[in-house]
Amino acid sequence: MIQSNPMNSNLPAVPSEASNYEMRYATYRALEKLKSTIWMDYDHAKPTIAVCVWDGAGAVDSINVFTSFESAVERNQADIRVVLQEIDGTNLEDQTAVVFLLPIHELHTRVTPEMTPALTDHFIEQLRRQEEESRRIIRPGKGPKAAAKAVPTRSESRGAGERPVFLSGTEPKFPFFRKKRERKEALELRAPVPEKTDSPLKSALTALSNELVRKYPADENHVVICTAEGRAAAKAVSLYTAIRNAAENENIPLTIHIKKIGNGYLRHMSPIVLTAPTEAVYLNVHAEDADNIVRRTVMRGEILEALTFQDSAGVTPRSLSITELTDLASIRPESESEDSAPETKPDPIALLVPGKAVFRDDARELLETPEIKETILYSTLKPENAPEKARPSAAVKPAETDGGESGLMTVEALFAVAADAANETIESGTDPVRAGNDVHHAGTIEEYDAIREKSATVSPLNQPQLLVIYGTDDERETAAAFAAELRESSGLIDIKISLSAALGIPGGGVSLRIDPAGILYTRLRRSDSERIMRMTVADGIVLPEFLARDPRSGKRILLYKDHPWIRQQTRLISADFAAIASESLSSVINHEGYRGSVRALTMRPDEILTEIKSSRLRGRGGAGFPAWRKLELAAAELAVPKTVLAVCADWLAEAILARAPHLILEGMIIAARTIGAKKGVLALQNCSVYTKKICQKALRDAAANRLIGANILQSGFRFDLSILNLDGVKPIGDESAMIAALSAGNPKAKTAPRRRPPYPTQSGINGKPTAVFDVRTIAALPAILREGSAVFAAEGTRSSGGTFFIAVRARGKNFSLAEIPIGRRLDVLLLNSLSYDERKRIKGARLGNRHPCYLSADQFHFALDETTFETIQSPLPSAIEWLDESENIPRRVRTDLKRSLDELDPESRMSAFGLEALIDRLDALTRGEIGAEGDLLALRDLAEGVRDMAQTRAEREAVLPLISTLAYFPDDFRAFLPETAPRAETGEDAK
């Protein structure tokens, strides 16, 4: 192990054959580039050994080198940081392991574990010499505290770093001609690497951290919370409290600053947390992250990867966590067969064996605690150096706003800003359900508590269970089959397996959530069930090949809640969806299901109305009518019986309904209670058999537990719900048609758009007041009542509160569902859903489902809220598809128009003829029959005329695709004009 030859020279042992080794020019280039990258980006304050690692065959070697370096450094008791540096390994495949010594800037290639002690000694020797030199030259002042602890001055290290030397391996000697030829070859063989440019967000973040963090002295702990005004401020308040509490708990001195930011990008990332002296930048920090920030970042200088900005454009050189390290090691080249799976081979994957940790009762907390994580999960790896004790110089104190830092705010100011946004600060610790109690309805609460107890015994909360997660409806079949397969292979193991209500993971296919820890497996096939049962469920081994990968950083993600897609959502309505089995009532009840309706039953209707009004909820079906207004109108009517009609006519609405039928039932009870309705109808249009079945089952379950029906929960309130299938009613989603169909006596009523007023709230089913809501609107009501309207209104905009469901997809991929707050900007959503390279190719977005509108990429400053989209006469989109450069916009528009034409109400002839005319004109355009720019204008005039002459909203929106594309993608249409081509040619000729 230890090299035999004495280490007298400043060079470590060089393999003898290395002198004859000639490096490829491409490799040389890659190394040069690596040198400059690391030199530019590294923190030079501390001596560091950076072991470069990349995905691929050499990763295991690199990790071995890394561990042996760590042990060597520890043996020498040197204050040297050993980090793993993730790099792009192109052209360096045969050079493993590459080691970079900082600040002396030596690059070693082909390092083996045997060489590490010698290299470490050499490094320490170099450091010491540097230090002596500096002392000699500058001033014999403060010497190093310990002999082994070398702290080189900054200026020197930079001077020395200008000429890095190759040590291991050889200096490449290239004959001149050969070098030229090689370069040519390299250029020909490899496609030109696109210039990596920094994304604007990245540069904004860098600027911010430069501006703030560098100011603070390195021996004090600082945390800066950057927040924008409005709802983010409310989050910042809770975050501030949480961080302060955490710091007090750990008893470390910590100064917390608050800064207001105005940058458009950063607004939507706020609250942003910057820490010093560890320069971490965390985005979208929630209050629950405070503990981790204090314990891991402040106290131990770790970077929490899940919170950082991850962007492939940034190529952030950063140290890897141990999780990633083992993940990387697990990646093998495809040549190796799958039989070399972890259980057969004792390689680093075995490090992930967590014992039975997954299924311990306290597994969730266990996985959270960093110490446990290391000791239990990764006990074979040597833990990192003991965490630096926090410097006890300053006591925990609230933000110091004086001292000339103009950008910082006082806590009072922050509170004021937050209060301004949400009208009332969120009271933590008070249960809104209990708070809104009426003495007379104590029985209802007791009844509900009894049901909760019962369901807690039926299916205890922290019991192991497997929840199969699916994305789109197409995957549900597969998911169900997979669940069945799991059940079959479970054999004697007693574990609950069911379909989860989670909204799905993009690209995750059929996924599995393993409770209670919340571990997420993705991309599962039926053949995997056996292995998951045997390894993970029976033996408690986490199988890394099933773990999801962060599409941007390539990192593996262990827990469901750490998935970036989940993190970027604001889950008010779907907070517990992942842990709920959608078919099981007890699972719903365990997660506070029906609590909102219990609260509604104990409140007076006007109180509920006030609550909903202050939540600023708007209808999610498209028109965006304020929900409270509709409820108020219906409640004010005297005629009885009133009806609540929940409509599910959209695939997105169906996706929500199929996942959380009980949520809809609960919401309908709340709405019924508000307006005093005794009857409810859940109208399903174009829904799958599964949805119908699961709704019926939910209704049966709820009725059996007296959660619906006569005398709900002993409250004396009666609400009868029926689920009706209205597939035959055309046009789909038209409420007048539905009401006409539901009215008894004339089932074949005229389906033409009825003249309004009277609105359905005055005269609906059978001429009685009817409150018609989309299922998605209904789904928001329980959250409002359960959490309180302030929590709901804290999200969203001034005119429209809360969150909404949206389906996002890129070209060629499936839709993935997410819950995001109203008012999120499109570019932020884009940022969160695609990687930088993908984003660069995006030229626009198709927003909406049935009647989409198209926006080009330069319009991505649009915020997703009703008022913004009103300006382009579009409803709030419920689906977004990113369009890349290869998209043929006119053809897409034609498809949209054709489908609208087919779905149109047959009675509205003018709109139908208008659509026919538009399709005819579009065809003429694509055939090249339209010859002039003026004809495009005529096309636009025609489209706008058809829009303006429309009778109903559906007709009006049917033309939206064409109008928006003509406005935002004019060049796609101009490309068909015959003149433009010759004009462009002549322009080039003129050049």
- Contacts within 8 Å (CB) and 24+ apart, 331-336: 331/55, 331/56, 331/59, 332/57, 333/56, 333/57
Report if residue 920 touches other proteins, rule: CB under 8 A. yes
Stretch of 5-13, 412-420, 653-661, 906-914 lying at the interface with other proteins (CB under 8 A): 906-914
Bridge-based pairing state of the strands 879-884 and 842-847: antiparallel
Report if residue 945 touches other proteins, rule: CB under 8 A. yes
Both structure tokens of 801: 């509160």
Residue 979, CA atoms < 13 Å, CB-side half-sphere: 8
Report if residue 604 touches other proteins, rule: CB under 8 A. no
Query: Binding marks (x or -) toward other proteins, 1..40, rule CB under 8 A?
Result: ----------------------------------------
Smallest separation, CB 757 to other proteins (Å): 10
User: Rounded to an integer, what distance in angstroms lies between the CA atom of residue 389 and that of residue 387?
Assistant: 6
DSSP code string of 311-322 = -TTT----BPPH
In the chain, the amino acid numbered 453 is E
Query: Binding marks (x or -) toward other proteins, 786..825, rule CB under 8 A?
Result: ----------------------------------------
Which of 640, 913, 928, 971 forms a contact with other proteins (CB under 8 A)? 913
Which of 951, 967, 975, 977 forms a contact with other proteins (CB under 8 A)? 951
Which of 480, 872, 917, 967 forms a contact with other proteins (CB under 8 A)? 917
Stretch of 48-56, 188-196, 481-489, 916-924 lying at the interface with other proteins (CB under 8 A): 916-924
Smallest separation, CB 920 to other proteins (Å): 4
Cβ-proximal residues to 77 (8 Å cutoff; 6+ apart), any chain: 148
Residue 818, CA atoms < 13 Å, CB-side half-sphere: 27
Report if residue 749 touches other proteins, rule: CB under 8 A. no
Residue with smaller CB distance to other proteins, 108 or 947: 947
Report if residue 927 touches other proteins, rule: CB under 8 A. no
Report if residue 934 touches other proteins, rule: CB under 8 A. no
Report if residue 949 touches other proteins, rule: CB under 8 A. yes
Which of 307, 790, 912, 930 forms a contact with other proteins (CB under 8 A)? 912
CA distances from 373 to 351, 389, 670 (A): 12, 20, 43
Report if residue 931 touches other proteins, rule: CB under 8 A. no
Q: Side by side, which strands form the sheet with 272-276?
A: 280-282, 272-276, 222-227, 255-260, 408-409
Stretch of 95-103, 426-434, 513-521, 903-911 lying at the interface with other proteins (CB under 8 A): 903-911
Asked, as a colleague might, if the bond just before 641 is cis with ω within 30 of 0, I would say: yes
Smallest separation, CB 774 to other proteins (Å): 21
Which of 946, 960, 963, 966 forms a contact with other proteins (CB under 8 A)? 946
Report if residue 914 touches other proteins, rule: CB under 8 A. yes
Report if residue 727 touches other proteins, rule: CB under 8 A. no
User: Rounded to an integer, what distance in angstroms lies between the CA atom of residue 391 and that of residue 889?
Assistant: 60
Output the furthest CA–CA distance in the chain (Å, rounded). Answer: 104
Smallest separation, CB 765 to other proteins (Å): 24
Smallest separation, CB 729 to other proteins (Å): 14
Which is nearest to 654 in space by CA: 692, 622, 617?
692
Kindly identify the residues of this chain, within the stretch 153-212, that bind other proteins according to CB under 8 A. none
- Residue 646's Cα: distance from chain center in Å? 30
Which of 368, 473, 933, 944 forms a contact with other proteins (CB under 8 A)? 944
Which of 143, 383, 758, 906 forms a contact with other proteins (CB under 8 A)? 906
User: Rounded to an integer, what distance in angstroms lies between the CA atom of residue 355 and that of residue 322?
Assistant: 18
Decide if 549 contacts 557 (C-beta within 8 A): yes
Which of 336, 412, 941, 985 forms a contact with other proteins (CB under 8 A)? 941
Report if residue 416 touches other proteins, rule: CB under 8 A. no
Which of 188, 219, 494, 902 forms a contact with other proteins (CB under 8 A)? 902
Report if residue 901 touches other proteins, rule: CB under 8 A. yes
Stretch of 645-653, 675-683, 945-953, 970-978 lying at the interface with other proteins (CB under 8 A): 945-953
DSSP H or E stretch at residue 132: helix 116-137
Report if residue 942 touches other proteins, rule: CB under 8 A. yes
Smallest separation, CB 917 to other proteins (Å): 4
Report if residue 909 touches other proteins, rule: CB under 8 A. yes
Residue 389: exposed, middle, or buried by beta-carbon count in 10 A (0-12, 13-18, 19+)?
exposed
H helix runs in 541-638, sequence order? 564-567, 585-590, 595-602, 605-615, 627-636
Report if residue 381 touches other proteins, rule: CB under 8 A. no
Bridge-based pairing state of the strands 165-166 and 222-227: unpaired
- The total of other beta-carbon atoms located within 10 Å of residue 1's CB is 7
User: Rounded to an integer, what distance in angstroms lies between the CA atom of residue 703 and that of residue 710?
Assistant: 9
Residue with smaller CB distance to other proteins, 583 or 907: 907
Residue with smaller CB distance to other proteins, 443 or 931: 931
DSSP H or E stretch at residue 671: helix 661-675
Decide if 219 contacts 391 (C-beta within 8 A): yes
Residue with smaller CB distance to other proteins, 660 or 919: 919
Q: Is the dihedral of CA 773, 776, 777, 778 positive or negative?
A: positive
Cβ-proximal residues to 871 (8 Å cutoff; 6+ apart), any chain: none
Residue with smaller CB distance to other proteins, 863 or 917: 917
Stretch of 223-231, 482-490, 524-532, 941-949 lying at the interface with other proteins (CB under 8 A): 941-949
Stretch of 171-179, 845-853, 880-888, 909-917 lying at the interface with other proteins (CB under 8 A): 909-917
Q: SS3 breakdown of the chain: % helix, strand, coil, rounded to 5?
A: 45, 15, 40
Residue with smaller CB distance to other proteins, 450 or 910: 910
Stretch of 150-158, 378-386, 393-401, 937-945 lying at the interface with other proteins (CB under 8 A): 937-945
Smallest separation, CB 940 to other proteins (Å): 10
- Residue 27's Cα: distance from chain center in Å? 37
Smallest separation, CB 912 to other proteins (Å): 8
CA distances from 664 to 97, 470, 596, 710 (A): 57, 20, 11, 18
Both structure tokens of 251: 């008893």
Give the number of residues in contact with other proteins, rule: CB under 8 A. 24
Which of 948, 982, 990, 991 forms a contact with other proteins (CB under 8 A)? 948
Residue ranges that bind other proteins, judged by CB under 8 A:
755, 901-902, 906-907, 909-910, 912-914, 916-917, 920-921, 924, 938, 941-942, 944-946, 948-949, 951
